Structure 1
Amino acid sequence: MSIFNILLTIHILFGTICLITGIVAMFAQKKKGKHTEWGEIYHASYVVITLTAIILSILNWDKIAYLFYVAIISYSFAIYGYLARKKRWRNWLQHHIRGMLGSYIGAVTALLVNIGMYIPILNLFPPIWFWFLPTIIGIPLVASVSKKYKKQRKN
């Protein structure tokens, strides 16, 4: 097995972990505990997929250079949301929500760009849509969740 295939396997494995733990963290109770535990696993797996994505893209630049940029931009959201909570920035919760959900949109985008054409119903869309569909659906959800928690903190 080549180094590329080994890294790709690691990337897919941790990408799956990232997508699953992201959803679990989103729906876990938000007090310190389960949400934090799942969030830490989400963040750690995001670090692995970012590093493997960067290396994979460098190894096969002619075909998957886009992966380098998707990885950097997506992880930027993850670290932004992660640090907002860890460093207790002013209005940290709003920053945390935007960053973490933004990073999840990035992970879903990466997934759809690579396998969207094999998913029934989604395969009816032109492939270019896979780059934009998660953002089109995700941004209003991020705004809604952010607004919900902003109201809760005022009460």
Structure 2
Amino acid sequence: MEIFNIILIIHIVCGIICLLFGLLAMSAPKRRGIHTKWGEVYHASYVGVFITAITLSILRWEEIAYLFYVALFSYSFAIYGYLAGKRRWGNWLNHHIRGMLGSYIGAVTALLVNIGDMLPLLNKLPKLWFWFLPTIVGVPIASIVVKKYRGGKKENINL
């Protein structure tokens, strides 16, 4: 098997884990325990997605250079949100939420760009929509979540 295909399989497995554990972390109660454990798996799998995406894009630059930029942009949100939760800088919870949800939007965007035309109903949309639909849906959701935790009421949450 070609090295590209091996890395692609690792990338897909990490991506599935990332998307699954991202949903699990988002749905878990926001306190130390299951949310943080699933969040750690989300972040670790995102690191795998990032490293494999960069590698794949370099191996086939002419075909998938966009993957390099999507990976860099999306993972920057993930590390930003992850560090906000770990370091607890000022207004850390808003930074954590925005970073983690921004990274999830990036992961869903990458998924749709690659397989959106194979999904029922979505395959009726122009391919350009796959680049913007996750952001159109995700940003309002992120804003609602940030507002829910704004104002210090839930700032002392035990993440």
**TM-score, normalised on structure 1?**
0.98
With over 3 angstroms needed to count, the CA separation of the structure-2 counterparts of 1:4 and 1:154, relative to structure 1, is closer
Q: What residue ranges of structure 2 are gaps of 5+ in the alignment? A: none
Q: 4+ runs of 1 displaced by more than 3 Å?
A: none
Q: Which residue of 1 aligns with 2:154?
A: 153
Q: In structure 2, how many angstroms separate the alpha carbons of the residues matched to 1:31 and 1:98? A: 17
SS of match in other structure, 2:29: coil
SS of match in other structure, 1:153: coil
Q: Which residue of 1 aligns with 2:136?
A: 136
Q: What residue ranges of structure 1 are gaps of 5+ in the alignment? A: none
**What CA deviation, in whole Å up to 9, does each residue of 1:109-148 have, x standing for no partner?**
0000000000000001000100000000000000000000
Matches within 5 A, 1:1-155: 1-151=1-151, 152-153=153-154
Q: In structure 2, how many angstroms separate the alpha carbons of the residues matched to 1:101 and 1:123? A: 25
Superposition deviation, residue 29 in structure 1: 1.1
Q: In structure 1, how many angstroms separate the alpha carbons of the residues matched to 2:132 and 2:4? A: 28
Q: Flag the structure with more relative contact order, 1 or 2, with Cα contacts below 8 A and sequence separation at least 6.
A: 2
Superposition deviation, residue 19 in structure 1: 0.1
Superposition deviation, residue 5 in structure 1: 0.1
Superposition deviation, residue 153 in structure 1: 2.5
Q: In structure 2, how many angstroms separate the alpha carbons of the residues matched to 1:154 and 1:52? A: 35
Superposition deviation, residue 149 in structure 1: 1.0
What's the RMSD between the two structures over aligned residues? Answer: 1.2
SS of match in other structure, 2:149: helix
With over 3 angstroms needed to count, the CA separation of the structure-2 counterparts of 1:120 and 1:71, relative to structure 1, is same
- One-letter code of the match for 2:122? L
Q: In structure 1, how many angstroms separate the alpha carbons of the residues matched to 2:140 and 2:42? A: 22
Superposition deviation, residue 154 in structure 1: 7.0
Identity of aligned residues (%): 67
